[in-house]
């Protein structure tokens, strides 16, 4: 394994990579991409454009959530929750279809990179999402750890970095020009989602209506 983090723009300046010619650095990065890509069944990525999030969601939703423990005071929280909503669709759809003949319902444990700023609320949000989305207990656990202890996080970091670039180019209507983006997508096993401004506006509209309805009924969203 290698502790090279593709999203760290300065890794090429660290030893021993700083002594390598650019051609060797590129070959090495291509090798890492192939390892991550070819040893991954599929990768799921979700992204929220922060400018649209700032402008589309009203302050009473960002600051106060929907009247309960769910919080949207930072785009991370929104993206985290929407990721699991998308993941459950894939789990009960695409993944279950592949195991249908074996009559298996796969269960999933999640490992995220350490994120001290959001770990507590992410853990609480995970439990709420399980209550809402996961009556069969398919989502078994969530853990936060370092990339040194959980080596696959290094591959996930590489996938996430280039997935973000791919999504950004898609949103801008640009062709993928970076060779590493093209290499990552060669197996077509990336499932990438981004939330458009219109989707965020619609979410805010429904969120405000739900919050008002629950406030009138005296029932907070837990």
Going by the DSSP 8-state scheme, the letter that residue 177 receives in this structure is -
- Could you report the per-residue pLDDT of 32-87, keeping only the tens digit for each? 889 888 988 888 887 888 888 888 877 777 665 554 555 677 888 778 877 888 88
Please report the pLDDT score of residue 216 as a whole number: 73
Mean pLDDT of the chain: 80
Q: Quick one: average pLDDT of 134-139?
A: 93
Cα distance between residue 37 and residue 43, in whole Å: 9
Please report the pLDDT score of residue 71 as a whole number: 63
Is the pLDDT at 3 greater than 50, yes or no? no
Is the pLDDT at 94 greater than 70, yes or no? yes
Distance of CA 16 to the CA centre of its chain: 31
Please report the pLDDT score of residue 194 as a whole number: 79
**Which alpha helices (H) appear in 49-196, and where do they start and end?**
50-56, 59-64, 75-90, 96-98, 119-133, 152-171, 179-185
Q: Quick one: average pLDDT of 133-155?
A: 91
Please report the pLDDT score of residue 49 as a whole number: 85
Closest C-alpha to 149, from 113, 101, 116? 113
β-bridge mates for residue 111, sequence order = 143
DSSP string, 9-61: TTGGGSTTGGGS-HHHHHHHHHHHHHHHHHT-S-EEEEE--HHHHHHHS-HHH
143 vs 66, higher pLDDT: 143
Question: What is the SS3 assignment for 109?
Answer: strand
Is the pLDDT at 140 greater than 70, yes or no? yes
Q: What is the pTM of this model?
A: 0.74
CB-CB neighbours of 221 under 10 Å: 17
Question: What is the SS3 assignment for 76?
Answer: helix
**Band of residue 111 on the pLDDT scale cut at 50, 70, 90:** very high
1-10, 121-130, 137-146, 178-187: least confident range: 1-10
Is the pLDDT at 1 greater than 50, yes or no? no
């Amino acid at each position: 394994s290698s502790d090279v983090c593709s999203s760290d723009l300065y890794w090429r300046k660290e030893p021993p990579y700083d002594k390598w010619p650019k051609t060797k650095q590129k070959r090495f990065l291509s090798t890492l991409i192939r390892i991550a890509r070819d040893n991954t069944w599929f990768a799921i990525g979700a992204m929220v454009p922060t400018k649209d999030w700032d402008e589309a969601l009203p302050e009473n939703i960002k600051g106060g959530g929907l009247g309960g423990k769910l919080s949207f005071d930072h785009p991370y929280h929104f993206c985290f929750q929407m990721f699991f909503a998308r993941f459950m669709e894939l789990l009960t759809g695409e993944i279950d279809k592949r195991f249908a003949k074996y009559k298996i319902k796969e269960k999933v444990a999640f490992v995220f990179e350490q994120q001290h700023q959001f770990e507590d609320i992410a853990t609480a949000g995970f439990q709420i999402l399980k209550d809402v989305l996961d009556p069969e207990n398919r989502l078994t656990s969530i853990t936060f750890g370092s990339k040194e202890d959980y080596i696959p996080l290094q591959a996930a970091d590489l996938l996430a970095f280039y997935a973000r670039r791919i999504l950004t180019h898609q949103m801008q209507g640009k062709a993928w020009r970076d060779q590493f983006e093209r290499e990552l997508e060669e197996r077509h096993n990336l499932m990438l989602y981004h939330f458009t401004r219109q989707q965020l506006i619609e979410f805010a509209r429904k969120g405000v209506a739900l919050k008002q309805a629950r406030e009138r009924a005296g029932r907070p969203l837990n």
